[in-house]
Amino acid sequence: MSDALQKRLELLRDRVSVLVEARSAGDPTAGDPLRGLYVSAERVEHLLERRGQIPVQLDDAYGEAEPDDALAETAARFGLTLLDTHILLTALAPDVNRDFEPLYGYLNDDVGRRRASVALALDLAGLAPNDWTARARFHPRAPLLASGLLVLEDAERPLPGRGLRVPERVIAHLLGDEELDGELLGTVELLTAGQPTGPFASRLGALLRARATMIYLRGRAVESGTAVEALGAAGLPVLRYDPAHGDQHLVPVLLREARLRGAGVVVGPLPEKAGALVRALEPGALPPHAEPLVPGAVPVVLFGTEPFDPRWSAGGDVLCLDAPPGSADTGLLWAAELGRDAAEFDLPAAVAPYRLTPEQIRRAARTARTLAVLEGGPLTAAHVQRGARQQSAPALDRHARRVSPAVGWADLVLPAGPREQLEELVVRARQRERVLGQWGLRTGGGRGHGVVALFAGESGTGKTLAAEVVAGELGVDLYVVELSAVVDKYVGETEKNLERIFADADRTDAVLLFDEADAVFGKRSEVKEASDRYANLESAYLLQRLESFNGIAVLTTNLRANIDDAFTRRLDLVVDFPFPDIDQRLALWWQSLAGVPCADGVDPGPCAKDFALAGGSIRGAVVTAAYAAAGRGGRVTTDDLLTGAVREYRKAGRLVVGQDDL
């Protein structure tokens, strides 16, 4: 207990003593040990004769603030009057000092009622229960009750006889305990935001510092850290509340906790029907046009992806803003969390593909350090990327097949031109937030920050493998969209399925792969029958959705001519995968044989020269040869490779001259 609170309790005790002396003077039952358990005739006569023995009036010295005075600070934050502060202290006293219990029992004329009552609190302030201005301090909308600092008990009693109780969290705060309210555990996070890393968050912080208003940010506000950073820029700690993980009855507890701490509140993502939640939060904040300094106001930042419905707000005073993507430089947050531990690798390149909130970055950094300790080595980019992937939303698993990349640039056999384009794709994916967001090169029309590429080439030329290499280089997972789960015979269902995929991809740090994309992104045709019209509607939807896409997507096709020109115009890159020449085929044969036990003198050269196979077919031929060798318990020979090549040729329906039927 602080010295300031102890001093206030001593002053209160003096007032109690004065009132006890006044009450006991002339009371024939003052020394009766059973006083308070029954009412004797003498006691009735004394009560009829007694007038209000009132101690000295409250004065400014009683409410004067002192250093380290939690009660005075709380009174200022909640907008309490001097009388409110006195009532709160009176109700608090028996919870922190048991000496008040018997004294309160005596003054209540009931030894079983050892808490303050409304009448007792007013008597100690020199006020009568028939004073309407005094009774107004116990109205449900008055500061003490509306903010949850005080609870009125005994609802069946008249107001003067009702008991006063201070919630345990308020008592703990006044005693110096800053642990989060137990009711909020598991639902609310206490965050300490660093300095803002973007101008938008700085401007919001200045607004919230001047006026504790309610703001709705539409877009990826929390994902980019904007909502949390704005409150950090205002110099406030942050209470983050997710409505999906808590009941609405916790909102008053949340606002009380924010006021006790002098914190701001971040709430989101808002549910589809958020009216009741917003109206419950509104009493904590101020309308944008209110006076700057109003006690008890809490800055509230809401966020979500849906347009704000004005009917959600009781007063219509919520400030609605579109949160600009890429408004925060998360690289600074990563550097602050990892510090010197990340000196041995290129941290900005390692974390550039990830769009995480500040709290997610902190968790990812802790996970990365734990992984490094587990492996007994220094922190690496791989540890950081694994930690970051654990924080990315796994919602795409419901609609696509996840592939954890296990290949790299060395596994690709491509000419210089396509390889350079793939490297450019990686650069675009890493730097898109800087170029399109911070540098302002994003065009208008609601376009997103996505990167979309088309890989075109014959089957087996390495398109899917290249997508996996790009995902591995970025340190993210590859999600292959299963078209069977997307295309639906019913009108409108295909668009709904695609929207779910795109929406989840926008929230997930991953590479989205549409294999055989011409099945979905095909050319529009002249409307000759009803089915043509609906097919064109699907294409029109996809054209619009690619414009606003914020993720990384790769489309692959064997027939580039089948892709609509309107899609091609919206692509960032078109990479052509040529059929491999002899030298590239030989490199592919050797690469496929890298882990296979081979006989001495094995030579895939004749296969590379005589059989024009793509990389996928070459791998299939090596698999056939490996099974043949494993079946006889030996090693792969040149004849085994030749047999595998012939099989692949015939699978493609091509003629092999001079070979027996296999």
Pairing of strands 477-481, 451-457: unpaired
Pairing of strands 400-403, 477-481: antiparallel
Give the phi and the psi of residue 333 in degrees, each rounded to 5. -65, -40
Same domain assignment for residues 313 and 294 = yes
Query: For residue 559, what is the domain's CATH number?
Result: 3.40.50.300
Our count of domains for the chain comes to 5
Taking the C-alpha atoms of residue 648 and residue 513, their distance in angstroms, rounded to an integer, is 26
- Among residues 577, 612, 641, the one where a domain terminates is 577
Q: Tokens 């995929």 — which residue?
A: 501
Which parts of 558-616 are beta strand (E)?
573-577
Same domain assignment for residues 522 and 473 = yes
| pLDDT mean over 542-562 | 83
pLDDT band at 508 (very low <50, low <70, confident <90, very high): confident
Min mean pLDDT across 43-52, 73-82, 634-643 is at: 43-52
Q: Tokens 């069977």 — which residue?
A: 484
Pairing of strands 451-457, 573-577: parallel
- The verdict on residue 400 lying in a domain is no
323 contacts 200 by C-beta, under 8 angstroms: yes
Same domain assignment for residues 481 and 555 = yes
Strand, helix or coil at 167? coil
Q: Report CA-CA distances (Å) from 200 to 207, 225, 232, 326.
A: 11, 11, 13, 10
pLDDT band at 156 (very low <50, low <70, confident <90, very high): very high
Same domain assignment for residues 588 and 511 = no
Same domain assignment for residues 291 and 345 = no
Same domain assignment for residues 416 and 525 = yes
The closest of 184, 204, 187, 185 to 196, measured between CA atoms, is 204
Same domain assignment for residues 422 and 571 = yes
Query: Which percentage of the chain shows pLDDT scores above 70?
Result: 82
- Among residues 322, 350, 377, the one where a domain terminates is 322
- The verdict on residue 555 lying in a domain is yes
Query: For residue 371, what is the domain's CATH number?
Result: 1.10.8
- The verdict on residue 565 lying in a domain is yes
The closest of 420, 358, 359, 346 to 385, measured between CA atoms, is 346
Domain that holds residue 354: 330-391
- The verdict on residue 503 lying in a domain is yes
- The verdict on residue 398 lying in a domain is no
128-132, 173-177, 496-500: which is most confident: 173-177
Which run of H or of E encompasses 300? Answer: strand 300-304
Same domain assignment for residues 157 and 28 = yes
Min mean pLDDT across 137-146, 176-185, 542-551 is at: 542-551
Higher pLDDT, 408 or 353: 408
Query: Which percentage of the chain shows pLDDT scores above 90?
Result: 35
Encoding tokens for residue 661?
Answer: 């039927």
Q: Report CA-CA distances (Å) from 193 to 228, 358, 392, 524.
A: 6, 8, 20, 50
The rounded mean pLDDT for the chain is 82
Residues near 439 by beta carbon (within 8 Å), at least 6 away in sequence: none
Query: For residue 289, what is the domain's CATH number?
Result: 3.40.50
- Among residues 117, 151, 174, the one where a domain terminates is 174
Higher pLDDT, 257 or 507: 257
Same domain assignment for residues 643 and 530 = no
Same domain assignment for residues 424 and 555 = yes
Min mean pLDDT across 42-46, 86-90, 407-411, 482-486 is at: 42-46
Q: How far apart are the first and last CA of the chain?
A: 91
15, pLDDT greater than 50: yes
Q: What is the pLDDT of residue 468?
A: 95
Query: For residue 622, what is the domain's CATH number?
Result: 1.10.8.60
Same domain assignment for residues 538 and 519 = yes
Same domain assignment for residues 157 and 58 = yes
- The verdict on residue 505 lying in a domain is yes
- The verdict on residue 101 lying in a domain is yes
- The verdict on residue 633 lying in a domain is yes
547 contacts 448 by C-beta, under 8 angstroms: yes
| pLDDT mean over 16-25 | 74
pLDDT band at 224 (very low <50, low <70, confident <90, very high): very low
DSSP annotation of 455 reads E
Taking the C-alpha atoms of residue 626 and residue 646, their distance in angstroms, rounded to an integer, is 14
User: Residue 516: left (phi > 0), alpha (psi -120 to 50), or beta?
Assistant: left
Residue 577 bridge partners (DSSP) = 457
466, pLDDT greater than 90: yes
